[in-house]
């Protein structure tokens, strides 16, 4: 017990050090996180999810963030929340890991989890989440699994319920997993099952209290269905999905083969007693070839293959963590990098591979490999943050790359000096963060004006809503939408919308830096 406390202290200290140096500097506050900090502000001002705000993800995160804004109306409290949730994800992982390996090994993996995953430079960061519902779902998944292996089924079902109200697709997979296990083992869980309903009941009360009707839910579902069938979504998967792009698949396969061959050669050198050469060779290859992390998008597939080959050597609880890891990484299977969705399940996949490989490879060698991988990945991360530094903006405390910081500050300065308190504006295509900073209502059912939104809602509906909202100013902020297969707004998407803007608004300013910001004011009648 004393050693566990020491390890948690070491992990906590490491977590705090990373928090101090990288607070607000991970992720991209202009993409996705802009939505996450503004929607709770909308709720605070009387708007309702599903009724006034299109809802893609579970609303638990927004509900909690609305409460936090009541305590302190500053987005930094949401960053602090993300850090706290991430910290408990880390603790949960360590508590799981010590059930499978020696505590020192568990600590190494936990440090890996902190430095590579939690403080990732991806927009899929734990500490600046693209979706708080995803972060809550990952936290709940970790503790659900912990209580499963500890045979505390009431708490297991409780956390399953928390997953349900955040990420329904993850819940379906994990519920099927736990239900199958409990049935096969003939475990009586009827008395524990009602705990599954506790969090969903809170959600139902929230819906009723906010007078969100069945019609609101159905309309939101219909729009989600349209969204999942858009060309923008198809293009997004082709650009980020390993099984949708031949180029990405081959690149991922190439890096995976290099990784396997590197381990094979390194292991051979280690067995021949060339230990320094073995680790040096592995570290060199990782530093050269593993900059983009393409090999990890196939991590779940590799884990499944390794587990199948060695199934007879695996204990029951080892099979459980392998299956859980694959489920947690299920969405990541279609991603091209651990900097995407796979960032959330990457540590469990790596840990599962370690458990399987320890059946036929020296644990001492594996520990050296994992430690070396931790070091090389940290070097890559440090180099990234050094070559892509972020700077604090003047008015909001948000950190951005130098080019975006300059134009962001200029845009904020223009809004402060030229837009009166009783005037409103919108920033396209993703600019709710400006509405939050200047406390201006957004007023639109859609959260952004990306190609995805134009296909989902249609130009005509967005134009009609623009006529209804009548913002005095429309600001076009530079945002590359190439991931949706489109040029910037007004070029090959949202054209009719932009024509309406040109006909009814007059351009009054161009803020020219590395990127241009175009500002239009509504014509007087």
Question: Residues 109-130: pLDDT tens digits?
Answer: 999 899 888 988 777 788 998 8
Inter-residue contact 146 to 95 (CB < 8 Å):
yes
| Coil vs helix vs strand at 265 | helix
Say if residue 322 is in the same domain as residue 272.
yes
Confidence check: pLDDT of 398 > 70: yes
Percent of the chain with pLDDT strictly greater than 90: 41
Say if residue 205 is in the same domain as residue 285.
no
Say if residue 225 is in the same domain as residue 299.
no
Say if residue 22 is in the same domain as residue 162.
yes
- pLDDT at position 524, please? 82
pTM tops 0.75, yes or no: yes
Confidence check: pLDDT of 406 > 70: yes
Say if residue 242 is in the same domain as residue 182.
no
Say if residue 128 is in the same domain as residue 142.
yes
Q: What is the mean pLDDT of residues 251-256?
A: 77
Confidence check: pLDDT of 188 > 70: yes
Closest CA to 371 of 464, 275, 456, 298: 275
φ/ψ of residue 518, rounded to 5? -105, 130
Say if residue 290 is in the same domain as residue 370.
yes
Say if residue 240 is in the same domain as residue 215.
no
**Distance from C-alpha of 307 to C-alpha of 455, rounded to nearest angstrom:** 42
Say if residue 369 is in the same domain as residue 409.
no
Characterise 393 by phi-psi region: left (phi > 0), alpha (psi -120 to 50), beta (else). beta
336 pLDDT band, cuts 50/70/90, is: very low
- pLDDT at position 138, please? 93
Structural domain span for residue 319: 230-388
242 pLDDT band, cuts 50/70/90, is: low
Tokens of 439: 């406390």
Name the least confident of 280-289, 475-484, 502-511.
280-289
Average pLDDT over the chain, rounded to an integer? 87
CB atoms within 10 A of CB 144: 26
Inter-residue contact 470 to 218 (CB < 8 Å):
no
Last residue of a domain, one of 388, 406, 432: 388
Say if residue 401 is in the same domain as residue 345.
no
pLDDT in tens, 65-107: 999 999 998 889 999 999 999 999 999 999 999 999 999 999 9
**Distance from C-alpha of 15 to C-alpha of 118, rounded to nearest angstrom:** 9
**Distance from C-alpha of 411 to C-alpha of 396, rounded to nearest angstrom:** 12
Inter-residue contact 448 to 479 (CB < 8 Å):
no
CA angle 34, 445, 474 (to 5 degrees): 65
DSSP state of 294: G
Q: Work out whether the CA dihedral 113, 114, 116, 122 comes out positive or negative.
A: positive
Inter-residue contact 304 to 321 (CB < 8 Å):
no
Last residue of a domain, one of 357, 388, 419: 388
Percent of the chain with pLDDT strictly greater than 70: 94
Number of domains in the chain: 3
φ/ψ of residue 320, rounded to 5? -60, -45
Inter-residue contact 112 to 350 (CB < 8 Å):
yes
- 477-490 burial: b if 16+ Cβ within 10 Å, else e: bbbebebbbbebbb
Find which of 249-263, 343-357, 456-470 is predicted with most confidence, using mean pLDDT. 456-470
Chain centre to alpha carbon of residue 495: 31
- pLDDT at position 506, please? 94
Inter-residue long-range contacts of 150-154, CB under 8 Å, 24+ positions, other chains counted: 153/182, 153/187, 153/189, 153/192, 154/191, 154/192, 154/195
Q: What is the mean pLDDT of residues 481-507?
A: 88
Task: Write the DSSP string, 394-437.
Answer: TTT--EEEHHHHHHHHHHHHHHHHHS-TT--EEEETT-HHHHHH
Q: What is the mean pLDDT of residues 3-22?
A: 92
Say if residue 332 is in the same domain as residue 434.
no
**Contacting residues for 267 by C-beta, under 8 A, at least 6 apart:** 278, 361, 365
**Distance from C-alpha of 59 to C-alpha of 23, rounded to nearest angstrom:** 25
Last residue of a domain, one of 176, 201, 229: 229
Confidence check: pLDDT of 348 > 80: yes
Say if residue 348 is in the same domain as residue 445.
no
């Amino acid at each position: 017990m004393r050693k566990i406390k020491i390890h948690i202290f070491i992990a906590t200290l490491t977590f705090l050090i990373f928090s101090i140096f990288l607070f607000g500097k991970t992720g991209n506050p202009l993409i996705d996180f802009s939505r996450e900090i503004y929607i709770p502000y909308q709720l605070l001002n009387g708007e309702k999810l599903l009724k006034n705000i299109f809802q893609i993800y579970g609303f638990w995160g927004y509900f909690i963030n609305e409460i936090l804004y009541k305590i302190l109306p500053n987005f930094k409290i949401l960053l602090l929340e993300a850090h706290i949730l991430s910290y408990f994800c880390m603790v949960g992982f360590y508590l799981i890991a010590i059930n499978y390996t020696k505590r020192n090994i568990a600590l190494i993996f936990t440090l890996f989890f902190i430095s590579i995953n939690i403080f990732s430079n991806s927009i899929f960061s734990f500490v600046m989440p693209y979706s708080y519902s995803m972060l809550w779902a990952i936290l709940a998944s970790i503790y659900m699994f912990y209580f499963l292996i500890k045979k505390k089924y009431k708490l297991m079902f409780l956390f399953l319920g928390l997953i349900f109200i955040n990420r329904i697709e993850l819940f379906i997979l994990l519920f099927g997993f736990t239900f199958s296990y409990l049935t096969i083992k003939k475990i009586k869980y009827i008395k524990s099952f009602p705990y599954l309903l506790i969090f969903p009941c809170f959600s139902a009360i929230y819906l009723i209290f906010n007078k969100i009707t069945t019609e609101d839910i159905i309309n939101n579902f219909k729009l989600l269905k349209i969204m999942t069938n858009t060309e923008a979504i198809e293009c997004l998967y082709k650009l980020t999905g390993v099984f949708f792009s031949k180029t990405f698949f081959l690149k991922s396969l190439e890096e995976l083969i290099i990784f396997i061959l590197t381990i094979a050669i390194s292991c051979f050198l280690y067995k021949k007693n060339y230990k320094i050469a073995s680790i040096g060779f592995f570290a060199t290859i990782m530093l050269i070839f593993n900059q983009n992390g393409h090999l990890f998008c196939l991590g779940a597939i590799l884990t499944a293959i390794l587990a199948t080959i060695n199934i007879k050597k695996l204990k029951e609880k080892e099979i459980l963590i392998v299956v859980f890891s694959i489920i947690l990484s299920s969405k990541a299977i279609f991603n091209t990098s651990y900097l995407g969705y796979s960032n959330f399940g990457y540590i469990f996949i790596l840990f599962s591979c370690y458990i399987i490989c320890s059946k036929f490879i020296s644990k001492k060698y594996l520990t050296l490999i994992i430690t070396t991988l931790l070091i090389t990945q940290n070097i890559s991360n440090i180099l990234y943050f050094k070559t892509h530094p972020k700077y604090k903006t003047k008015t909001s405390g948000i950190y951005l790359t130098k080019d975006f910081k300059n134009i962001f500050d200029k845009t904020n300065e223009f809004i402060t000096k030229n837009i009166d308190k009783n005037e409103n504006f919108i920033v396209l295509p993703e600019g709710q963060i400006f509405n939050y900073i200047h406390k201006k209502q957004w007023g639109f059912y859609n959260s952004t004006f990306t190609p995805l939104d134009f296909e989902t809602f249609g130009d005509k509906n967005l134009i009609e809503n623009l006529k209804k909202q009548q913002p005095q100013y429309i600001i076009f902020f530079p945002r590359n939408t190439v991931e949706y297969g489109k040029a910037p707004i007004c070029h090959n998407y949202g054209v009719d919308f932009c024509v309406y803007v040109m006909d009814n608004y007059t351009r009054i300013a161009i803020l020219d830096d590395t990127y241009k910001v175009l500002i239009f004011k509504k014509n007087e009648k």
